Structure 1
């Protein structure tokens, strides 16, 4: 089996430069037709044999690069996972139910997608001796005791989604401790970027942009004082590629910028970058939401050689420019 070579921690952190270290490997991206997964598939296509496993319930084949093989299937089905995993060297596990409100409405469905699906991936990876890089979440921390949040801080999830991601996070790391499987859990903070769909359960950035560009009011849940660390999807891809080649396995890493902004200030910034006349209005607080959130990314910087590069304003302006072209 081909093994990826490690990237030095002090190497230049550029997704296109990270690809050669994985060149020649067979990789699987679960949820690879979705938001983060499709960007990962883009970064890997050409240098790797890329497979995508996706049930296409929220993702789209249009997001997947032509060089990747799409296998329509569900991580909740162990047979689908086993078929997709055959001969794989590295799996990037992005599939799951990515919504706090949806998990509150349907906790069993959330558990099946996020926890049971992860166990199927880990079991198949054991059989193939494949490295697993799995998408965990800032939601594992819940309302933090203090910010910025370090990986060792208390885990107090406030939603079924957060509980599910904490279970995923534990399973991923325990499979390394118990079975020697090479695993990494990446705790994404608030990811935004191209292909993030708007709508009821989408990220707040895409929702605000959609509202501002259509002249609708920007709806802020609660008082808007809650803070978030927004990380661009290109930086999330870079963190995944670094995790696929690091020697520091069996650990969890925060993937964020180390900066935060209040949701109210984000709304004002979106209005500014879109040159919109939209008002900002406040609605009821969202159940399961947390007050403050900001990553301490120092472990990822030390051990993965990862550091976020895209500033929030420039990332927002890029999204506005892309929308104008379309």
Structure 2
């Protein structure tokens, strides 16, 4: 894993997690191929930021993972592949399930087949999701103030482990779950070194959250703009949120330890110590900004989990990870970053974007 040698391929490398991962790789001396079709609004700024920081170490490949020829060429050059490119929204998957399948399943299969044809020695680390476990409707819950929690004390203490049965809900859950299983099976069937990280809710700098994805940043952005926040459900649903720097460290560790963890899937999140409900997070945002946030409430969305908290013990043990950053510290830092981005003069933004 020295900086010398072949480049590292990061699909979706201009996205939120992808750009943070590409920055870490380039900072350690690696050449990085950022494969990103730049379909998501705002990601071109992340690409410009990467180029401004790392110059020639960043190569942009403006291609979709559905483009088999482009994927083959990129994987052929790479010493490792981090596959983060995806259709990421449940709502979009319900609108266009076919495109969701093509991006998430066919795109992943193109990566795996390219690695297999190359000779089967290139590690593939895949970004999966907690949605592979379904809506967890069978888990008995109780209300504790402004948050749901399991009635099972052991589950409250540990979180959801990898032994939880898979239960795909919504086209998004099906497509990400199918890709998740393909990645694991290519290790079993073809000996390809692969690892799957089933992520909970990740937040941090370079996240331009929307109502459909990246809700921590979305709530902060709306609050900073003085705009109301829409809540689907009652706002007491709980997630374990994880800072992107800790997430990137897990991806790097999976690559470093690929011989040990190949064919394994790990739940990756902040764990029980970083579990927070939506309304609890909004309450903390109000403390940070010293003003109230207007809320509106709508019906629950399809497949939404009232409670999901990762059991991070397997990932921490096998990947030698430390404790995750406390969510209050991380959210306060993200609020500062977003405020600085909003207050930056247009001339600075134009200079940065011109690098791309």
Shift of 1:157: 2.4
Matched, 1:291 2:306: yes
Instruction: Give the corresponding residue for 2:263.
Output: 250
Q: Secondary structure at the match of 1:307?
A: coil
Task: State the structure with more CA Rg.
Answer: 2
Higher deviation after alignment, 75-84 or 303-312: 303-312
Contact 1:220 1:280 in 2 (8 A): yes
SS at match of 1:36: helix
Is 1:27 equivalent to 2:8 in the alignment? yes
Cα offset for 1:25?
4.6
Deviation at 1:250, TM superposition (A): 0.6
2:168 is the counterpart of 1:157: yes
> Equivalent residue for 1:113?
103
Aligned residues: 307
Alpha-carbon contact 1:196-1:202 (below 8 Å) kept: no
Equivalent of 1:74, from 53, 60, 64?
Answer: 64
| Distance in 2 of aligned mates of 1:52 and 1:217 | 35
In structure 2, distance between residues paired with 1:72 and 1:266: 36
Q: Which residue of 1 aligns with 2:130?
A: 138
For the residues of structure 2 that align with 1:204 and 1:93, how far apart are their CA atoms?
A: 22
| Aligned partner of 1:217 among 228, 238, 241 | 228
**Structure 1: which 5+ residue stretches go unaligned?**
5-19
Is the CA contact 1:33–1:52 (under 8 Å) kept in the aligned structure 2? yes
Comparing 192-201 with 147-156, greater Cα deviation is found at 192-201
Q: Which range moved further: 26-35 or 197-206?
A: 197-206
Shift of 1:56: 0.8
Structure number with the higher helix fraction is 2
Q: CA deviation at 1:307?
A: 3.4
Out of 57, 72, 77, which is 2:39 matched to? 57
Is contact 1:28-1:90 (8 Å) kept? yes
Which residue is 1:84 aligned to? 74
- Pairwise CA distance, 1:281: 2.7
CA distance in 2, matches of 1:160, 1:115: 11
Q: What is the distance in 2 between the residues matched to 1:207 and 1:32?
A: 20
Provide the rounded CA distance (Å) in 1 between the counterparts of 2:211 and 2:237: 19
Alpha-carbon distance between aligned partners in 2 of 1:97 and 1:276, rounded to the nearest angstrom: 35
Whole-angstrom CA distance in 1 between matches of 2:209 and 2:315: 30
1:159-178 superposed matches below 5 A: 159-178=170-189
Partners of 1:304 and 1:23 in 2: CA distance: 23
Match of 1:278 in 2: 293
